């Protein structure tokens, strides 16, 4: 059996197909830069901790000519929000004053966002997306990073690139292999995520409550669903 790794070349290799990696890949390809994004999972169908698309991101989508089609996907709009502090309920956010085209936060499963970006990015001849490809090392030459090595379902892969970008999350292999040390900003916070059924009498614009040392944040996911098991 031939164990020789397959070799491919590009100007920019992005490790990690999350929101940052996929958006960057789209932008670079849109600018004519030969770009490869690779993601270790076979698809995006899993629960994420961020299902919010903020007005600044929606404005970027507008600038790219994508907003109208993007908002055809199932989503909820958060235009205003209240929080309860102790026994007092106060207005907390109001996006109606922002100088943007979409004056709301779009609540949407992140897999829909990623699938949309991937589909649009693939229309560019400068974009390639490799799924089920997990980076396992950097290629270094003369003190510089020259690409990455990866495991795929079809065997070993070597990607040579002029620029390698690590967008592979909090436990980034690229960061570790490159010798970068993350800055600890000392935020002693534990976050517990859970899902509750919603009553028809629950307010749409209620964001949660704040008490001493405790914060509860509520997002109405309505009928936008959850990832298949």
**What are the pLDDT digits (tens) for 126-157?**
999 999 999 999 999 999 999 999 999 889 99
- The pLDDT of 16-36, averaged and rounded, is 96
What is the arrangement of strands in the sheet containing 76-78, beginning at the earlier edge strand? 52-53, 105-107, 76-78
Picking from 23, 12, 42, the residue whose alpha carbon sits closest to that of residue 131 is 42
Question: How many beta carbons lie within 10 A of that of residue 223, not counting itself?
Answer: 6
**What are the pLDDT digits (tens) for 78-119?**
999 999 998 899 998 999 999 999 999 999 989 999 999 999
- Write down all domains in the chain, each with its CATH number in brackets: 6-51+109-181 (3.50.50.60)
**What are the pLDDT digits (tens) for 35-46?**
999 999 999 987
Six token digits for residue 84: 């309860």
Distance between CA atoms of 158 and 151, rounded to whole angstroms? 9
């Amino acid at each position: 059996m031939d164990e020789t790794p397959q070799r491919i070349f590009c100007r920019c290799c992005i490790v990690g197909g999350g929101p940052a990696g996929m958006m960057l890949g789209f932008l670079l390809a849109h600018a004519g830069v030969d770009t490869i994004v690779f993601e270790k999972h076979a698809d995006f169908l899993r629960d994420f901790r961020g299902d919010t698309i903020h007005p600044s991101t929606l404005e970027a989508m507008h600038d790219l000519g994508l907003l109208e089609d993007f908002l055809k996907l199932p989503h909820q709009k958060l235009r205003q929000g209240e929080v309860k502090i102790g026994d007092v309920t106060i207005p907390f956010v109001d996006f109606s004053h922002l100088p943007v085209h979409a004056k709301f936060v779009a609540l949407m499963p992140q897999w829909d966002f990623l699938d949309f970006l991937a589909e649009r990015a693939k229309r560019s001849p400068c974009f390639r997306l490799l799924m089920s490809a997990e980076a396992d090392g950097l290629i270094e030459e003369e003190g510089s990073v020259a690409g990455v090595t990866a495991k795929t379902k079809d065997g070993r892969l070597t990607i040579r690139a002029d620029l390698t970008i690590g967008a592979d999350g909090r436990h980034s292999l690229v960061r570790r292999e490159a010798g970068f040390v993350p800055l600890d900003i000392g935020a002693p916070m534990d976050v517990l995520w859970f899902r509750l059924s919603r009553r028809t009498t629950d307010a749409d614009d209620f964001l949660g409550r704040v008490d001493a040392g405790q914060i509860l944040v509520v997002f109405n996911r309505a009928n936008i669903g959850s990832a298949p098991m």
